[in-house]
Amino acid sequence: MGKRGAGQETAGGGLITDVFADIRAGVRSVCAEFDGAYWRDKDKQDAYPTEFVAALTEAGYLAALIPERYGGSGLPLAAGCAILEEIQAAGCNGAACHAQMYIMGALLRHGDDAQKQAYLPEIARGALRLQAFAVTEPGSGTDTGAIRTTAIRDGDRYRINGQKVWTSRAEHSDLMLLLARTAPREAGAKKADGLSVFLIDMREALGAGLSVRPLEAMINHSTTELFFDDLSIPASALIGEEGKGFRYILTGMNAERILIASECVGDARWFIDKAAEYAKERVVFDRPIGQNQGVQFPIAKAYARMRAAALMTADAAARFDAGERAGAEANMAKLLAAEASWEAADMCLQTHGGFGFAREYDVERRFRETRLYQTAPISTNLILSYLAEHVLGLPKSY
């Protein structure tokens, strides 16, 4: 995989300078092998896009953020953003594998040398998949401090009991990052005290205390529910120190929001390009519908919002890569990009009229897929609450 190359890049019809132009071109080349028919078939069968993930892995894109000494490319988060944006803009779905980029942070920043040497080279070459991130529980939702899954020390092992939900890709991952409680909630000054992070080898855990149940959903997201019944894992599975897990995953959550924002920008680009092309070709009342301002204006407005979201996302990634505090920017990027992609999706469906609901046009599938990001990985309302409290200094609302 080429690292980076200066050049001009077209984004939704607009010309921008991009140091990752070579990477973007390479991603588009891989994606060209997986057309709409491929994704429609996966969606119909509710199947995992194994071939697509394998192609990205072979090309080195899923190892982009792993340091070179472990077999990766050692690229910054901004490069990961470019990769995921282009995947979405090409009409593919990076949700099948994007977790590997943002989960990686906990292991890279807080794992010990033995853990890094054992797993990172294997992940980089595609022999192992780190795709599952088990945090959310049925009774806690986004209130992470309220999780109840426990990991109790027992000699040189931990015993895990509890339940997780909306853990995507668990059936297609070898490793899983787990957030569990190692100390009672009431023992700490804050709700999130006493939470710890573990790297679980699912090949050993499945059937030995861990069971996975698929969850049917509106979109093909390979999501599951997990049940831990006295699962025994080695103490060496602990990432960093006990009780500091919440702060460990916070940086990863910022990376996740920035990367998801990039995907939403890519989605918006796809919808805008799709709508613009259709509006030029579709003739009604002896004229292309794109000649009508009632059709033009929503497309133009979606384009402007996409470009604004892209700038916010680029700023957030730059701050993250510079080691600056990027919580506010990461949240704003995710908020603005998710809204931009959803507006573009609604506009694209409306532009296509009845044909937008026909599966062969791919609009309805991608319409469903991009709607997710108004809710996950964090809801729009929680982002607004964060900005109100931590940026604007308003009283805490929850």
Q: Is the pTM of this model over 0.85?
A: yes
Domains 130-246 and 247-391 share a fold: no
Average pLDDT over residues 337-361: 98
Q: How confident is the model at residue 86 (pLDDT cuts 50, 70, 90)?
A: very high
* Region 263-290 average pLDDT: 98
Is pLDDT of 18 > 80? no
- Per CATH, which fold does 247-391 belong to? Butyryl-CoA Dehydrogenase, subunit A; domain 3 (1.20.140)
What are the backbone dihedrals phi and psi of residue 218, each rounded to the nearest 5 degrees, phi first? -65, -25
Instruction: State yes or no: pLDDT of 11 exceeds 80.
Output: no
What pLDDT, on the 0 to 100 scale, is given for residue 6? Answer: 42
Indicate the domain borders of the chain: 8-124, 130-246, 247-391
pLDDT (tens digit per residue) in 237-270: 999 999 999 999 987 899 999 999 999 999 999 9
Residue 7 pLDDT exceeds 50? no
- Between 97 and 10, residue with greater pLDDT: 97
Q: If phi over 0 gives left and psi between -120 and 50 gives alpha, with beta otherwise, what is residue 116? A: alpha
- pLDDT tens digits, residue range 170-203? 999 999 999 999 999 888 768 888 999 999 999 9
Per-residue pLDDT reduced to its tens digit, 41-72:
999 999 999 999 999 999 999 999 999 999 99
How are beta strands 195-201 and 238-239 bridged, if at all? Answer: antiparallel
Q: Quote the CA–CA distance of 9 and 23 in Å, as a whole number.
A: 11
- Local confidence band at 8 (pLDDT 50, 70, 90 cut-offs): very low
- Cα 176 to chain centroid distance, Å, stands at 15
Q: Which CATH code is given to the segment(s) 130-246?
A: 2.40.110.10
| Res 15 pLDDT > 80 | no
**CATH class of residue range 8-124:** mainly alpha
Residue 9 confidence (pLDDT) above 80: no
What CA–CA distance (Å, rounded) separates 161 from 306?
A: 43
Q: What is residue 269's predicted lDDT score, i.e. its pLDDT?
A: 98
Question: What's the pLDDT at 2?
Answer: 53
Q: Mean of the pLDDT values across residues 22-36?
A: 97
Residues 6+ apart with CB under 8 A from 265: 11, 85, 88, 306, 309, 310, 313, 337, 340, 341
What pLDDT is attached to residue 305?
98
